[in-house]
Amino acid sequence: MEYKILLPGLCCILFAYYVYTPIPENVEEYWKVAILDAAMKTSSLTATLFENVGLIKYRDFFSLLVNTLLTKAVSDENITVIDTDISDIPVRLYLPKKKSERRRPAVIYIHGGAFVVGSTKLMPYDFLNRWTANKLDAVVLGIDYRLAPQHQFPAAIDDCVSVVKIFLQDKILAKYGVDPTRICISGDSSGGTLVAILTQMLQDDPEFKDKIKAQALIYPGLQFIDTLTPSYREYEHGPFLSKEVAINLASLYLTKDKELRRAALRNEHMPQDSRHLFKFVNWSVFLPEKYKKNHVYTEPILGKLNSSYPKFPHNRISPLLASDSQLQNLPLTYVLTCEHDILRDDGLIYVKRLRNAGVPVTHDHIEEGIHGALSFTTAPLFLNLGLRIRDKYISWLEKNL
Ligand SMILES: *[C@@H]1O[C@H](CO)[C@@H](O)[C@H](O)[C@H]1NC(C)=O
Ligand SMILES: *[C@@H]1O[C@H](CO)[C@@H](O)[C@H](O)[C@H]1NC(C)=O
Ligand SMILES: *[C@@H]1O[C@H](CO)[C@@H](O)[C@H](O)[C@H]1NC(C)=O
């Protein structure tokens, strides 16, 4: 009984405290973002407390919150929406109803959520994918890949690869009336990570080479090597996505061992023999001057993690590790970055590296933007910024797919 009164009370106090903690002034819709930011920080602290007293796991707390936004497959006057499986992996398909003379483009969408929460069935993704199907007269496929920590690396990328390889078969494309020359893979945040890796893998596979026309990465995370880029430093405490929340959640994709998250927060998580990887993500080389400001490059510290720690194939986690010769074969690319985002520099570095390799890239940078805004395009949390991001992404698709 006392818990039931104390906890909401504590949350209110925390929330009130956080909501008056300043966030950057030029953020669009300041008060709405301040509320979102405070809600996120309160949730993170509550989740930490709950985990420490053994009530519920940190990640499960976030899942509970997020899963209140799950939707059913509801068709409307224009689009037939179907939940089905491809290769035993749940997917949601959006099929335009209108008769079409010619075959349609397709967009494969991979949702965000730090590899541990979320679903293509969440309201904001349902809204976005329906909107995409309507605006582009496209077939849209949302993938519900398996989530960590129940299913750790490489479950997420394996699922995406399996679904896409089946979807790309001629007979499946024909079944849904998809034009095989007009297929884009898109995703936001950790979904963007998966899209970038997936696109690289398909391009390296003789059977699937050149089958993807374009990729779209919306505020993607593209490396888990250096957690002290200028954007990690400047936006360590958010708004919205703090370094702590990002690393606490995303590290569960690799291991439940908390030592990794502790080491990653200090930028000391890379193994002894990994220095040769730094050149691919060295921000002091790839970041435009404007974003370097007065920051001084410091190398991640090696070998602090227990050497018995499992080793991961880093290029299946950090798509920025692809070599220039791998990058140069990649398709037309869209990258959207937000200024107030720890992952800003991941996107900026990828843009630079892709352009150096000769890949045509469209880059939209939103000065007033925050991470995750595309997930706030429906009631009760509605940001104009989210709609702006959606419209930029859709208009790029309209012109390029
Ligand atoms: C169906 O398409 C029409 C024409 O594009 C549009 O005006 C209408 O809002 C769409 N309906 C829904 C439910 O999206
Ligand atoms: C990173 O780049 C700087 C030049 O800006 C260079 O001095 C440094 O050696 C590089 N470090 C690594 C590990 O690549
Ligand atoms: C490294 O991990 C192993 C197995 O988890 C453990 O037995 C050992 O004590 C650890 N070593 C250090 C230095 O933490």
* DSSP β-ladder status, 332-340 and 214-218: parallel
How far apart, in whole angstroms, are the C-alpha atoms of residue 344 and residue 17? 27
- Going by C-alpha positions, the residue among 133, 223, 225 that lies closest to residue 186 is 133
pLDDT beyond 90 at 18: no
Phi–psi pair at 45, nearest 5 degrees: -70, -40
pLDDT value at residue 31:
87
Distance 213 CA to ligand 2 centre (A): 34
Which residue among 75, 76, 77, 130 is best mutated to probe the pocket of ligand 1, counting the most ligand atoms within 8 A of its Cβ? 77
Among 295, 382, 369, 377, residue whose Cα is nearest residue 337? 369
Q: What is the pLDDT of residue 129?
A: 98
Angle, helix 58-66 to helix 243-250, in steps of 10 degrees? 100
Residue 192 covered by a domain: yes
Across 4-8, 251-255, 353-357, least confident range? 4-8
Predicted local distance difference test score (pLDDT) of residue 4: 67
Q: How many domains does the chain have?
A: 1
Residue numbers of the domain that contains 355: 71-223+314-400
Judge whether 112 lies within some domain. Answer: yes
pLDDT digits (tens, 9 = 90+) for 120-157: 999 999 999 999 999 999 999 999 999 999 999 999 99
The answer as to whether 50 is a domain residue is: no
Q: Which amino acid is at 139?
A: V
Ligand 2: residues whose CB is within 6 Å? 278-279, 282, 284-285, 297, 299
What is the per-residue pLDDT for 16?
A: 78
Residue 368 clears pLDDT 90, i.e. is over it: yes
Among all bound ligands, the one having the nearest atom to the CA of 307 is 3
Q: Residue 20's pLDDT is what?
A: 75
Q: What is the pLDDT of residue 21?
A: 78
User: What is the predicted pLDDT for the residue at 74?
Assistant: 98
Contact 132, 138 (CB under 8 A): yes
* 237 part of a folded domain: no
Proximal ligand: closest to the CA of 300: 2
Q: Looking at the domain assignment, is residue 289 inside a domain?
A: no
Please report whether residue 258 resides in a domain.
Answer: no
Average pLDDT value for residue range 175-186: 98
Query: Which atom of ligand 3 approaches the CA of 307 most closely?
Result: 1
Amino acid 254 reads L
Q: Which residue has the higher pLDDT, 246 or 31?
A: 246
Q: Which residues are catalytic?
A: 189, 341, 371
Task: Report d(CA 80, CA 73) in Å as an integer.
Answer: 9
Percent of the chain with pLDDT over 70: 99
Distance 94 CA to ligand 1 centre (A): 14
Least confident range from 51-60, 203-212, 236-245, 305-314: namely: 305-314
Share the mean pLDDT of the chain.
94
Q: Indicate the pLDDT class of residue 378, thresholds 50, 70 and 90.
A: confident
Is 53 inside any structural domain? no
Q: Identity (one letter) of the amino acid at 351? A: V
CATH of residue 168: 3.40.50.1820
- Please report the pLDDT score of residue 13 as a whole number: 82
Residue 311 pLDDT greater than 90, yes or no: no
pLDDT over 90 at 304, yes or no? no
Classify residue 269: in a domain, yes or no.
no
> With 80 as the cut, is the pLDDT of residue 2 above it?
no
Beta bridge partners of 310: none
- Give me the mean pLDDT over the 355-376 stretch: 97
pTM summary value: 0.95
